[in-house]
Amino acid sequence: MSDAALPEKVSSDGVSPDDLPRLQKALAHAGVASRRACETLIAGGRVTVNGETVYELGSRINPDTDEVRVDGVIVQLDATKRYFVLNKPRGVVSTMSDEQGRPDLQTYVDEIGERLYNVGRLDTDTSGLLILTNDGDLAHQLAHPKFGVQKTYVAKVRGRVTPAVIQRLKDGVELVDGPIRADAAKLLPGGASSSHSLVELTLHSGKNRIVRRMLAEVGHPVVELVRRQFGPLHLGAQRVGTLRELSAAERGALLSAAAGGDSTDITDRTQRADTQITAGRPGDGKGAKGMRGVAARGNPHRR
């Protein structure tokens, strides 16, 4: 372990090394695994502190200043920080208090008992994955355009979407505020009819109503839109209108994405560490008709 990770470095802040937690205890307290399992992770060279691999059991860390990772994924050592995923229904505005009296996010967080921030926004008429947290710094970080966090949507659109339209979305379209292209786009199996199609679109832009504007530009206005993924987080089978707290693995993947890691790579590495990130993936519900099974379990809007 390098000098940068040794507890002696924090003595200038008035913290005695004996008052600092041992690494395996801090990992267990953060919900990574049992203390015995955390010792196995350390001995196996899977834990780093400030970028240096730590093998020695009993090494002490400062949770306030040290960055700890397991298999490259950041561990949130501050137990007071909480992170939630809301499957936001249509008709709910992405604010904690709406001056016009419309349904807002406060309805879903009252039982938490502390102030939460929403990470970015979803349009009132868009449903799906919205992150809520009391970690204001992370909320601001993830919402900032420079981080370019990928988001995946499933859109029910008017008309029959052709492969040429999908390619155009990937090549890029010109909007009034500049060109934009999808990072990925595809027509979902079983999602096309003479009147409507289901399209999955992934992009990292945070521009206002960008998915709706892109699809309108290629001649297929959105009828219904659901966000299925934000960075490494997936909606899975979470029901509309429900709030759930992130697992330790999901927290780590989210923090690692905010620190500049590749979300896909983070998720893959976390899963290889035998930690299940989620039970779902974009496009769940193969063979389902309309938005049923693709946007959510069941038909949340009863259409």
Outline where 144-291 has alpha helix (H): 163-171, 210-217, 248-258, 263-272
- Amino acid at position 180, single letter: I
User: Is residue 48 a part of any domain in this protein?
Assistant: yes
To the nearest whole percent, how much of the chain has pLDDT over 90? Answer: 58
Domain containing 176: what range? 148-230
Helical segments of the chain, H only? 23-29, 35-43, 106-109, 136-143, 163-171, 210-217, 248-258, 263-272
Domain boundary at 182, 204, 230, which?
230
Q: How far apart are CA 138 and CA 119, in angstroms?
A: 8
pTM: 0.77
Contact between 124 and 104 under an 8 Å Cβ cutoff? The reply is no
- Is position 240 within any domain? no
Least confident of 138-142, 158-162, 172-176, 233-237: 138-142
- Residue 64 placed within a domain: yes
Provide the pLDDT confidence category of residue 279 given band limits of 50, 70 and 90.
very low
Among 43, 70, 97, residue at a domain's last position: 70
Q: Supply the CATH number for residue 180's domain.
A: 3.30.70.1560
**Number of compact structural domains in the chain:** 2
CATH number of the domain enclosing 26: 3.10.290.10
85-94, 146-155, 214-223: least confidently modelled range: 146-155
Q: Are the CB atoms for 206 and 145 separated by under 8 Å?
A: yes
Residues annotated as catalytic are 123
Dist. CA 5–CA 61, nearest whole Å: 7
Q: 260 in a domain, yes or no?
A: no
Among 70, 91, 123, residue at a domain's last position: 70
Look at residue 14 and tell me if it is in a domain: yes
Q: Output phi, psi for 256, to 5 deg.
A: -65, -40
